[in-house]
Amino acid sequence: MGDAEHRTAAAPVFVDERADGPGVVSFSENDPAAPFYRLLMKLRAPVAMRDMMIAPVRACYRGEGLTIDPSELPPGAAQLYPQVSVSTLAVPSDAGPIRCECFTPPGEGPRPMMLYVHGGGFVVGRSEDTAYLTSRIAAENNIIVVSVNYRWAPEWPFPAGLDDCMAVLLWMRDKGGEIGGDASRIVVCGDSAGGNLAAALTIRARDERWPLLAAVLLCPVTDFRFEQFPSFERLAPTGIVIDAAFMGFARGAYLTTQQQWRHPWASPALGDLHGYPRTIIISGAADPLIDDNRAFAEKLKAADVKVEHFIGNAMPHGFYFFPGLLSEADAAVAAIGGFLADALQR
């Protein structure tokens, strides 16, 4: 792979901006049903049900149409952590350049690196959404955080997003010194869907004989057969942050066949976990995925993996995203700090 570069006006389109994925709706004029599809396109827009469903999800996720009083918002990452410099990287890959934000704390010398994978049900989300958390982790742990913007489903189903994350991880291993990183000390971290990708990356890296130092998994989904868990059956039907309807859609958007549900790169809990690195799992007791997370922690322990499991009392999915709001969020970040200090042996 070549060197990562700052993006210029003439740079190619980043992979997460590509609109030519295998999940993009199209039909051939030679299709016997083409006249029906052409008429349908005049009667409704977008024409495919998955596009109808994902458009409002993405718009609402970005808060489009909302008027927000800035005084009601918590301070942003730049205000809280001005000492952390943020730069944009274009990491090369077979699919094209991958846009990453690099969060670098002050200081000199090679420092450990973290690949951070944002959440959003595999269908939404950007590195900017998690800038507070990645800035805080960088500042409090003296670690360089590379936050990846991977391709979304349903336009790019499994394993496109995972491939993007793996390409960045390999670049960090081979070229991380260019950003001041120590390639011998790399950890992965992700939240929600990003936690799934981080957990799967750990298995994939191990299978390719390149074990990672540690994994930090924030409210991850580790088994796509999530209906089997009592907490999902109890909490997901009327969930606020995530719910059964969204989880079903996200699964269908990301995994196009039921057989993929059991693939260890999709459901890490169903893979061989021997040789998995030390792991911390952050969960909320009111998250529909809490039983998934508990089960994954137990499977890691059964595979002789050193694992810590922090559970925020009465906390929902993603409770750690806003500063100064919940004491349990600060406790979770402190738990991550303690874990990293031990894992990185500083």
267: tokens are 């459901």
Residue-wise burial string across 318-339, b where 16 or more C-beta atoms lie within 10 A, e elsewhere: bbbbebeebebbebbbebbeeb
CA distances to 220, 229, 319 from 294, in Å: 11, 10, 17
Angle at the Cα of 318 from the Cα atoms of 204 and 200, rounded to 5 degrees: 5
* Alpha carbons 67 and 298: distance in angstroms, whole number: 44
Q: Which of 49, 194, 65, 183 is nearest to 133 (CA)?
A: 194
Kind and range of the H or E element at 113? strand 111-117
Active site residues: 192, 287, 317
Place of tokens 């969204």: 246
SS3 22: coil
What own/partner pairs with CB < 8 Å and gap ≥ 24 does 79-84 have?
80/132, 80/135, 80/136, 80/323, 81/135, 81/136, 81/138, 81/139, 83/139, 84/135, 84/138, 84/139
* Alpha carbons 259 and 261: distance in angstroms, whole number: 5
* Alpha carbons 114 and 172: distance in angstroms, whole number: 9
Q: What are phi and psi of 219, to 5 degrees?
A: 45, 50
19: tokens are 């609109």
Q: Residue 228, class by beta-carbon neighbours within 10 Å (0-12 exposed, 13-18 middle, 19+ buried)?
A: exposed
